[in-house]
A and B are shown apart, each in its own frame.
Chain A
């Protein structure tokens, strides 16, 4: 069975600091990878996704992620965070070719940005 692990459960940064949230997955086949964000009191929103091609993907709000197949990783980055980035971040996996299937999520990282 597939799994997703996120290394940091809580991260506290100051505004303008750089961000990197770790995500590793376990699955023997081809995967589609995602980062979702959940702002306080809101629903899950897609930040970015990787299906194939360029392993560096850009998403909304200045976020990007790099897929490193050899490391089974899909880390999320942002060069300069803002207070409004305070949220819960989830890395997720979908088994490629498994059209009928749900997403497998990591446990999430709670990011707090201090002004």
Chain B
């Protein structure tokens, strides 16, 4: 158990719908990262938040957005869903502080999204 929690574990929805995935970081971690794992694209970095502010963007689609709340939990919102959005979505957290080169990321168990 990494200490990072994600809900729900599984989500099944239809094309065109909107879903919200939730992540709670490890206690004390200020930074949250979102990743998408799909069969064709592999594991891709989507977006990073630090203490409520967006810090870095990866291959995140415009239909996707995220936010980090004052209690440090984060939500990833996926809208206008397409079949190709079916994937495993991971959240990771770290004690990232500005200026440090790298802090180890701890991964949650993931949310499996199926778009029908």
Q: Which residues of A contact B (CB under 8 A)?
A: 32, 36, 42-46, 49, 51, 90, 94, 96-108
Contact = CB atoms under 8 A, between A and B. Distances in A.
Interface string B9-38: 000000000000000000000000101000
B8 interface: no
A105 B44 contact: yes
Interface residues of B, number: 29
Contacts of B56: 100-102
A44 B90 contact: yes
Main secondary structure of the interface of A (DSSP, over half): loop
A99 B100 contact: yes
A102 to B, nearest CB: 3
A99 to B, nearest CB: 5
Contacts of A98: 101
A43 to B, nearest CB: 5
Nearest to B54: A100
B96 A100 contact: yes
A38 B4 CA distance: 15
A105 B35 CA distance: 10
Given A45-B2, A98-B101, 15 more contacts: A42-B109, A43-B109, A44-B90, A44-B107, A51-B102, A94-B102, A96-B101, A99-B98, A99-B99, A99-B102, A100-B55, A100-B98, A101-B48, A104-B45, A105-B35
